A and B are shown apart, each in its own frame.
Chain A
Amino acid sequence: MEVLPFSKEIAVRIEDLNYVYPDGTRALNNVSLTIFRGESVALMGPNGAGKSTLALHLNGILEGSGKVEIMGLEVNRKNMREIRRLVGLVFQDPDDQLFTPSVMEDVAFGPLNLGFDREQAEKAVKRALSWVGMSGSEKRSPHHMSFGEKKRISLATVLAMDPAILVLDEPAANLDPRGRRELIELVKTFRTTKIIITHDLDMAREICRRFIIMDSGKIVADGNTSDVLGNQVLLENHGLI
């Protein structure tokens, strides 16, 4: 993975993004946001705020009206392949991400789709598994793994693609304290641009330096630790404490 010095290069630029779900619910309301390379950003807010919806716009799964640029590249049909290589999105439920009979195939799925050949893919798998502390589990079947192990493998499936921007949706949800601790330590070692969707204030504080609060499809706060996490009223108003 890339090792980044503090950089002024823009990783994510979102301008006036609006999105309405097919059933009519307005999920994103004129969202504008700029994230620089190397930043660790926590995306927080109450349930239904639009955090996951926003994340799905970053790699083009959802397309709203407005502009989304990843590393200067506009998110549209034409650039989709490159966008998906740049943005690694780890979903909340590992069972949604592990759909092949073996860990090897699941973690290799991304690299193979990117066009890696067999040797390169195997190397990428081995590397990714070692990053998440699951070396040697290539032949195991996801059906037979514990929740914590599945979480780690699902993280590996995305890391194997070596993304420039890592987006994690509630990474510590349902993990026991040890699993949560291990995950935090693990994520801290990643030097990519990180966007972490979470309700876990303590985890956010440990990993991130910038905190964005969303509520009802809008960004209501964007600042550093003392500005945001230190503001009790703000946190209370938006369901975070």
Chain B
Amino acid sequence: MRHDFIDRYSRLDSPVHALDARAKAIALFALIVVCVSTPNKDWWPFAVYAGLVLIIAVASRIPPKYILSRLLIVIPFVIFIGIFLPFMHKGGTRINLGHIHIYSEGLIFFWGIAVKALISISCLILLSSTTPFADLMHGLELLHIPSFLTTVSSFMYRYIFIIVDEAERMARARDSRNFRGRWIWQAKTIGYMIASLFIRSHGRAERVMQAMSSRGFVGKFPRWSEPKMSSSDYIFIALILSCSIAGRLINLYK
């Protein structure tokens, strides 16, 4: 099975890729926070945030189709959560469509959720696509994110494809002996497969630990070069922060 890596485009050559992982993490996270804290009623700030995202996306040279396809995954969630809001959230003016009533406040709420979700997810997509996963985890560690989270994520990312392959092999073996039985029966089999994968992963984890210990590992991962923040990293952070805050405050001057 062709594995779909989160950081498929993370080794391209672009100004964004060259930035330190920490700079990108801080800047994009700040953008998300500013965006999410913006009142739903304001339109302009979101245009500014979207503009920032667009500029970064273009500068990163990542194929637009890829970014859009990843973005599309969010849409069902947004709809699932927000679709009833225009109908249920009572407030503002009432718009009548025959027997159905829509409330403008509900609509604005829905819009808010949708645009915030899209911008936030775009930031995450850009972050993960311009930074090799291991570098991203290391950057987060340097920012004092608990190493438990980053180490677990790193190993998960490394071994998830192995587990996916195992699951595939199990599925193939199962299909060779299964003649499309009833759905209930299949659910039980899937349950067994999951349990089996869990046990195998546990066994593998033990063996990996043995292999690491055999090569002298005593708890701390060795690193041979620490990334350094350069002036372009700080400038990037400063630019994104200032533009997003400026966008947030636009309405105060209107």
Contacts and interface: CB of A to CB of B under 8 A. Distances in A.
Interface of A: 56, 59, 61, 81, 84-85, 87-89, 91, 93, 95-97, 99-101, 108-110, 112-114, 117-118, 121, 143, 157-158, 161
B204 A59 contact: no
Given A108-B224, A109-B222, A143-B3, A99 B208 contact: yes
A99 B158 contact: yes
A131 to B, nearest CB: 16
Given A101-B158, A108-B224, A121-B224, A113 B211 contact: no
Interface of B: 3, 5, 132-134, 155, 158-159, 161-162, 204, 207-208, 210-218, 222-225
Contacts of B216: 81, 84-85, 110, 113-114, 161
Given A96-B207, A99-B155, A118-B224, A143 B214 contact: no
Given A99-B155, A101-B132, A89 B224 contact: no
A133 to B, nearest CB: 21
Contacts of B159: 99
B132, B133, B213, B222: residue with the most chain A Cβ atoms closer than 10 Å? B222
B211 A91 contact: yes
Contacts of B222: 108-109, 112-113
A2 B42 CA distance: 73
Given A91-B207, A93-B207, A118-B225, A84 B155 contact: no
A56 B210 contact: yes
A64 to B, nearest CB: 15
28 contacts: A61-B210, A61-B213, A81-B216, A81-B218, A84-B213, A84-B214, A87-B214, A91-B214, A93-B207, A95-B204, A96-B207, A96-B208, A96-B211, A97-B211, A99-B208, A99-B212, A100-B158, A101-B132, A108-B222, A108-B224, A110-B216, A112-B223, A112-B224, A113-B216, A114-B216, A121-B224, A143-B3, A158-B214
A59 to B, nearest CB: 5
